[in-house]
A and B are shown apart, each in its own frame.
Chain A
């Protein structure tokens, strides 16, 4: 944020504004739905701080973290991301532990701390696709949720309802037996997400 103010002050007409508008630097050109690792700073700050050392992916015991090529623009080249349907985050918090720059915050591996500090996204339920809402009690997402009854509550037919405590790890999306999945994590990073 400081950076933007600085450059706006420095160059009234300027090169910086031009570059920011063409999307060379900005994060507004997100085209796919992805999560940043747990504890990552807000997208803009994250791109500022990440030095692309790849240690987060190397320390991830679930091989959850993948790295961008050019799919998300030049600015996120080689930055870490997570596709929850393929491999969800198991919230081990090792990536924050190894991150040298603090682009991913170091967060204690503890349910309370994780709930307060991690916000990768929030799960959204598509009631038209969800089996439980269609009268076939399923409850797979509820069984999979690492924060059951806190992030997700279920009704008498196992119909899931999300609360604000959801951190967006995506385990429910991975677990969903519907195809396409009835529950999706909407990332906090994305401005234009697929619904």
Chain B
């Protein structure tokens, strides 16, 4: 009886899970799209200013290239780019997409704490992100955040440095570790609280200067339109070095105030990754793949999981999958296909 149901479950699981292995590719597509939109928008802005000034004749050759490329890109979609392109403005911190205003919940929170006013129209712009976070958890961190795009590539660089380049090299002899330190993940909630208190005292939204997605969107704009990075680029560089040499994905895990807010909002999320204990082989690949240092192999996701699907993609037996659950399951024991469980079974059975 048991074996029948388990095989049935297995077939069912395989049918449902197979496509989830592709989600990581989809996620990278989303991250790349958001990042390239952030790069594209300043060029659209430049194009609009050229149009507004009727200045094609006096543009320099490089600017003419920008004008021509952007014109050919936008011409299929809009007849009057000068006004229509106003529907695409801003960054992930606060932006306009297809004419709809969307804001980061942290922007709304710090705006309230800085100004001591409840600006309803501004609060409504964060409604959709908040509702999505309540159901999906920290999906923004894994799927949209332009900082994640940079930090994940940075982390891959770190892994590569660690695995190939630094073997027996000077750096290793000095003893410089590549992201080995671990802190308490609750540190970021303290930082969120400090950020809110400081904005309330200072009366300015200083958080936007230490919140990577806001900084990155702004710096890309500065680079393309103003012609050079601002101070924020230094900040991003420092966080990247912090991630590389001090703690793996350290900023997102321990310091990011936005990540803390998303974690709190997504605490009772519906969409959770769950381990199917009957398929698990205890191979620990999921734990190695998890850049957030969580423990999928022991059912330990918590509110920190950002739904990045790296563990689902890595799992060789499709034991991990997205499920609709309000709570994480307790530790289910060793994976049934692993050595430990087999030994236990062997011990009990004659």
Contact = CB atoms under 8 A, between A and B. Distances in A.
A153 interface: no
Contacts of B96: 55, 98
B259 interface: no
Given A25-B204, A78-B230, A53 B94 contact: yes
B309 interface: no
Contacts of A74: 206
Contacts, number: 133
Contacts of A102: 119, 121-122
A149 interface: no
A184 B131 CA distance: 50
A47 B203 contact: yes
Q: Which 7 A-B pairs have the closest CB atoms?
A: A61-B52, A53-B94, A48-B115, A25-B202, A52-B208, A55-B90, A3-B116
Given A45-B115, A100-B103, A51 B222 contact: no
A74 to B, nearest CB: 7
- Contact-residue bracket for chain A: 35 or more
23 contacts: A3-B115, A3-B200, A6-B116, A7-B201, A44-B203, A48-B117, A49-B117, A51-B93, A51-B103, A53-B95, A54-B91, A55-B95, A55-B96, A57-B221, A61-B52, A61-B53, A62-B49, A67-B218, A75-B204, A75-B206, A94-B86, A101-B111, A101-B122
Interface stretch (B22-30, B40-48, B135-143, B146-154): B40-48
A50 interface: yes
Interface string B194-219: 00000011111110110000100110
B328 interface: no
A63 interface: yes
B119 A101 contact: yes
B188 to A, nearest CB: 20
Contact of B231 (A4, A62, A77): A77
A58 B42 contact: yes
Contacts of A55: 89-90, 94-96
Interface in B165-216: 200-206, 208-209, 214
A61 B94 contact: no
A59 B114 contact: no
A36 interface: no
A100 B125 contact: yes
A121 B91 CA distance: 30
Contacts of B42: 58
The interface residues of chain B, by DSSP majority, are classed as helix
A100 B82 contact: no
Interface in A17-74: 19, 24-25, 44-45, 47-55, 57-63, 66-67, 69-70, 74
Nearest to A48: B115
Interface string B220-263: 01100110001110000000000000000000000000000000
A78 B204 contact: no
Contacts of A48: 114-117, 203-204
A138 B203 CA distance: 46
Nearest to A24: B202
A15 interface: yes
Contact of B114 (A7, A49, A54): A49
B314 interface: no
A23 B39 CA distance: 36
B225 to A, nearest CB: 7
Contact of A52 (B48, B201, B205): B205
B110 interface: yes
A75 B199 CA distance: 10
Given A51-B107, A100-B125, A101-B122, A78 B82 contact: no
B317 interface: no
Contacts of A15: 201
Contacts of B201: 7, 15-16, 19, 25
B82 A77 contact: no
A78 B217 CA distance: 12
B107 A63 contact: no
A61 B115 contact: no
A110 interface: no
